[in-house]
């Protein structure tokens, strides 16, 4: 049986090969089998990757930080620096629910 490698002496990209990560990623996909980002838009796509919600800075945040399930499309978009692929409605305008949350309510202010 090969000796366990010390994750603190490994490159961060090598952490993805650890048994701890593989188990955790598989568990994430099992618990959340659909893409979280697509669900926000009412779409259902199978999860492709267990994704760190926040950028990790060390092995502890890598292994313990919150995860989300993403489909390949959303995972690729995040890798490119976009939080989600741009979706458009029937009117051709981009759908971005998070932007709607920032709109101020209409009518007199209390
Ligand atoms: Zn997705």
Q: What distance in angstroms lies between residue 90's CA and the mean position of ligand 1's atoms?
A: 19
* Confidence band for 101, pLDDT divided at 50, 70 and 90: very low
Do the Cβ atoms of 39 and 97 come closer than 8 Å? no
Three-state DSSP string of 5-49: CCHHHCCHHHHHHCHHHHHHHHHHHHHCCECHHHHHCCCCCECCE
Q: What distance in angstroms lies between residue 64's CA and the mean position of ligand 1's atoms?
A: 23
Do the Cβ atoms of 62 and 52 come closer than 8 Å? yes
Please compute the mean of the pLDDT values over residues 61-81 and round it to a whole number. Answer: 92
**Alpha-carbon gap, residue 72 to 91, rounded angstroms:** 26
Q: What distance in angstroms lies between residue 71's CA and the mean position of ligand 1's atoms?
A: 4
Q: What distance in angstroms lies between residue 45's CA and the mean position of ligand 1's atoms?
A: 6
Would 55 be classed as within a structural domain? yes
Please compute the mean of the pLDDT values over residues 22-49 and round it to a whole number. Answer: 96
- Expressed as residue numbers, the domain containing 50 is 7-100
Would 110 be classed as within a structural domain? no
Would 34 be classed as within a structural domain? yes
Q: Does the structure show a pLDDT above 60 at 103?
A: no
Q: What distance in angstroms lies between residue 99's CA and the mean position of ligand 1's atoms?
A: 18
Would 108 be classed as within a structural domain? no
* DSSP of 63-86: HHS-EEEE-HHHHHHHHTT-SS--
Please compute the mean of the pLDDT values over residues 44-60 and round it to a whole number. Answer: 93
Helix (H, G, I), strand (E, B) or coil at 51: strand
Would 20 be classed as within a structural domain? yes
The predicted model scores a pTM of: 0.71
Would 40 be classed as within a structural domain? yes
Q: What distance in angstroms lies between residue 70's CA and the mean position of ligand 1's atoms?
A: 5
Higher pLDDT, 103 or 55: 55
Q: What distance in angstroms lies between residue 69's CA and the mean position of ligand 1's atoms?
A: 8
**Alpha-carbon gap, residue 89 to 87, rounded angstroms:** 7
Number of domains in the chain: 1
Q: Tens of pLDDT along 7-30?
A: 778 888 899 999 989 999 999 999
Averaged pLDDT score across all residues of the chain: 82
């Amino acid at each position: 049986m090969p000796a366990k490698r010390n994750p603190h002496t490994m490159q961060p990209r090598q952490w993805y090969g650890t048994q701890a990560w593989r188990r955790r990623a598989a568990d994430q996909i099992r618990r959340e089998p659909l893409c979280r980002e697509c669900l926000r838009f009412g779409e259902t796509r199978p999860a492709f990757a267990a994704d760190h919600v926040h950028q990790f800075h060390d092995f502890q945040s890598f292994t313990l930080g919150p995860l989300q399930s993403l489909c390949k499309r959303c995972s690729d978009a995040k890798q490119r620096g976009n939080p989600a692929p741009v979706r458009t409605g029937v009117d051709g305008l981009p759908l971005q629910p998070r932007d709607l949350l920032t709109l101020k309510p209409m009518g007199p202010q209390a």
